[in-house]
Chains A and B, each alone.
Chain A
Amino acid sequence: MTEEEILKNFKDGVNQERSLSALMDMHKQKLYWHIRRMVVDHEDSNDILQTVFIKAWKNLAKFRGESGIYTWLYRIASNECFTFLKKEKKRRTISISDEENDIGNKLRADRHFNPKEIEWKLQLAIQQLPEKQKAVFSLRYYDEMPYSKIAEILETSEGALKASYHHAVKKVQEFLTSD
């Protein structure tokens, strides 16, 4: 099933569940990892990913197709992540122990965590980035998106995104080489 067929089915009110399932099959893995890179924890990522598709279900019939569904889903996912991280930040400021909520500790808690492996070091480095840079890095480096698409998702100019990505890479490099 193509995205056009999925969209048509939603607008016509037919085969909606099958269409949603097809949409999830197309995008769930990439979206999941984008979310996971942003919020780190699997359960939080799962909640956000489910929310993204439930919101898609509720609103696809009205989708006007100004951007592709893929871009639209990424935009919802990114904004859900930003909202989640804001709430987490607020929660951390009133928590007795900041340590238990520390995002780096969430990574270290993974049963496969190995601080000597470059993949894990990179994940720790990414978590040092400000939220927006983290999103830019995730979309550009891991999802290999063109800046024009990232600009649509994050509503930032391509020039600013390029600068943001290069700042992010530089910070990652500094983190990795200082270790």
Chain B
Amino acid sequence: MNEIQQELEALNVSLPASNKAVQEVPNGYFDRVNEDVLNMIKAEAFSETLPKKMPQSIPSDYFDTFNKKVLAQVETAPEMIVHRTSKLKPWALAASIALILSIGLFTFQGTEQLSISSELAQISESDLKEYMLDNDYEFNDYIIEGQTANLHQVEEEFFEEAEGLSKDEILEYAL
């Protein structure tokens, strides 16, 4: 019995006999890690030699007059323009559905009720985000409203709302 095992026994703790790591590391990780760390250190050192001054010009009174220009716009704007009548914004649903359609994850069959949670779950957050940005959806409005841009939450809400929609209802949203 080695020292570690004796210590555990003294503590009256039973652990598996082998303490070998079960996780894997990428191939060549330990060969590369020294170089990666050195590169990071060099990059930090190099960045310290760079200037921070921004050379671009701006109108001389720009910041002095900026507040006035914004306030003139908000005076005429409604206090709240984002209203959520549904748990899921139509754009999010439309984006998700259009994405599913575009990558051909399922096909419609008559007017049967659709179960698409599992299909949607296969779409990564980055793909969904990319799709929405590519299609100019007002992604920021969701961020503002929810205070987070958690697309998993969008997906969860989508699951709740989209389950059981008919083909016609889905097409109405998606178009």
Contacts and interface: CB of A to CB of B under 8 A. Distances in A.
Interface in A112-147: 112-114, 117-120, 122-123, 141-142
Contact of B57 (A57, A86, A111, A166): A111
Contacts of A141: 47, 50, 52
Given A17-B71, A66-B148, A169 B46 contact: yes
B70 A54 contact: yes
B82 interface: yes
A54 B73 contact: yes
B116 to A, nearest CB: 25
A41 B154 CA distance: 34
Contact of A119 (B44, B53, B82, B134): B53
B43 A58 contact: no
Given A20-B74, A61-B80, A119 B54 contact: yes
Interface size bracket, A side = 35 or more
A24 B57 contact: no
Contacts of B81: 58
A57 B74 contact: yes
B147 interface: yes
A120 B71 CA distance: 34
A157 interface: no
Which of A32, A33, A42, A166: most chain B Cβ within 10 A? A166
A125 to B, nearest CB: 9
Contacts of B40: 162, 166
Interface residues of B, number: 43
A83 B139 contact: yes
A110 B56 contact: yes
Contacts of B59: 42
Contacts of B55: 110, 112-114, 117, 119-120, 123
| Interface majority SS (helix, strand, loop, mixed), chain A | helix
Interface stretch (B10-18, B61-69, B98-106): B61-69
Contact of A86 (B54, B133, B140): B133
A7 interface: no
B123 interface: no
B172 interface: no
A86 B122 CA distance: 25
Nearest to A123: B55
B67 A75 contact: no
A54 B63 CA distance: 16
28 contacts: A21-B71, A28-B66, A42-B58, A42-B59, A42-B62, A53-B74, A54-B74, A54-B77, A55-B144, A57-B74, A58-B78, A58-B79, A61-B79, A76-B143, A79-B139, A79-B140, A86-B133, A107-B56, A113-B55, A114-B55, A118-B50, A119-B53, A119-B55, A122-B50, A141-B47, A166-B43, A170-B43, A173-B43
Interface of B: 39-40, 43-44, 46-47, 50-59, 62-63, 66-67, 69-71, 73-75, 77-82, 133-134, 136, 139-140, 143-145, 147-149
